[in-house]
């Protein structure tokens, strides 16, 4: 569970409050939970210009704008390539894009490492978790 801070008062314009209430209703979450998620993404995007967020409400992922690639995918590839220079030379990504993903990774290592670990799960493990997919061939 994430440690919470002391509550504070906030006044929103009627337009923003209405949009927040609609988003809370649509996602079946509290207005506070929606506002916290939006603030977190906005702060991260401002800290790392060029990083955006995509995915469904319960699975938002950082991605590199203009590439279609999630940050974890870039970091996983970087680990396989071994160096930024080699990856830039042998992929469609620029050194700047790779360095941006790497900077985000340094700030949010646990989140990215978790996504990489999830992607690298052995096929047998995935089959035991999702037996219905073993039927589809």
Query: What is the residue extent of each domain of the chain?
Result: 11-42, 48-135
Quick check: 1 pLDDT over 70?
no
Q: Model's pTM, two decimal places?
A: 0.84
Q: Is the pLDDT of residue 127 over 90?
A: no
Alpha carbon of 68 to those of 36, 52, 53, 77, 103: distances in Å? 25, 10, 11, 14, 18
Top pLDDT among 90 and 57 is at 90
pLDDT digits (tens, 9 = 90+) for 15-68: 999 999 999 999 999 999 999 999 999 999 999 999 999 998 888 999 999 999
């Amino acid at each position: 569970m994430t440690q919470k801070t002391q509550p504070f008062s906030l006044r929103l314009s009627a337009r923003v409050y209405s949009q927040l209430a609609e988003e809370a209703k649509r996602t079946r979450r509290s207005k506070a939970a929606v506002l916290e998620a939006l603030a977190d993404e906005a702060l991260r995007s401002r800290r790392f210009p060029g990083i955006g967020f995509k995915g469904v409400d319960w699975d938002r992922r950082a991605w590199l704008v203009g590439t279609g690639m999630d940050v974890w995918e870039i970091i996983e590839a970087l680990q396989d390539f071994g160096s930024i220079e080699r990856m830039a030379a042998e992929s469609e990504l620029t050194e700047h894009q790779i360095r941006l993903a790497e900077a985000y990774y340094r700030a949010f290592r646990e989140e990215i490492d978790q996504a990489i670990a999830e992607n690298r799960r052995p096929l047998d493990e995935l089959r035991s978790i999702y037996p219905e997919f073993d039927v589809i061939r």
